[in-house]
Structure 1
Amino acid sequence: MKVLAIDPGFGRCGVSILEGTGSEPSLLYSACIETKPKSNFPDRLLAVANEVIRLIETYTPDTISIEEIYFTNRPRSCNKG
């Protein structure tokens, strides 16, 4: 099985392609898609989308896994365990 894993973001979006079964998948590709902070939002979104499309066409993953974004109003309380 081949998986495209995405850690979403518009400034930096992490992407990886993993392949294999069981407990030790192989890393085929890993990168950080970076956009220019001064670019407008639609251009940044398009840059990320184009790279993700290129990865899908190149590696033909069986599935895609996207990390859920977590927001909080109290970031310091997230560090307490």
Structure 2
Amino acid sequence: MRILGIDPGLRRTGFGVIDAQGSHLQYVTSGTIVVPADEPLAQRLKVILDNVREIVRETSPTVSALEKVFVNTNPTSTLLLGQARGAAMCALADHGLLVHEYTALQIKKSVVGNGHAAKEQVQAMVQHLLQLNGLPAADSADALACAICHAHIGPMADRLTQAAGLPSRRGLRLRAGRLTG
């Protein structure tokens, strides 16, 4: 499975792509979409949308993982982050990709073993798990960590869903406003 992880942000959106085969993880690519701060909001969101679409076209992921928005003390910041996530989600849905969402706590716990790990710890563990030559940039590391989290959690969640006799998440697609199997 090829996983595209996204760490959304209105100024910087990180992305990371890995291949996962069982417990073996292999780095494919990563980077940061830098969004111009001096543009109107609609143009900034379009930069995210267009770049995520291009990343999907270039890397052909089979699934995607996105960090969930947390509610912080500033509702305006939360709303803007939600809009950035929405632009990324639309690009992913545009290509028919399933979007799995994980909280920062789940991602850090899955990658570092501690849900309250520092950014530097996440970067170091991503470097170690993917056997990278250097420390990845913070936004890229967060996106790669999101993809790694899905590689660890996704297959287990699918097995639990199947064991419970529920419809598989893999077979569900949103088409023309309807959920189909």
Q: What is the TM-score normalised by the length of structure 1?
A: 0.83
User: Residue 13 of structure 1 corresponds to which residue in structure 2?
Assistant: 13
Q: Per-residue deviation at 1:14?
A: 0.6
Greater RCO, CA 8 A, separation 6+: 1
CA-to-aligned-CA distance 1:38-64 (integer Å, 9 cap, x gap): 111111111111111011111111001
CA-to-aligned-CA distance 1:19-78 (integer Å, 9 cap, x gap): 12233311111111111111111111111111110111111110010100112229xxxx
More strand per residue: 1
Q: Which has the larger radius of gyration?
A: 2
Give the whole-Å Cα distance in 2 for the aligned partners of 1:25 and 1:56.
19
- Secondary structure of 2:31's partner? strand
More helix per residue: 2
Aligned residue-pair number: 75
Give the whole-Å Cα distance in 2 for the aligned partners of 1:39 and 1:69.
23
Unpaired runs of 5+ in structure 1? none
User: Residue 56 of structure 1 corresponds to which residue in structure 2?
Assistant: 56
- Secondary structure of 1:18's partner? strand
Give the whole-Å Cα distance in 2 for the aligned partners of 1:52 and 1:18.
15
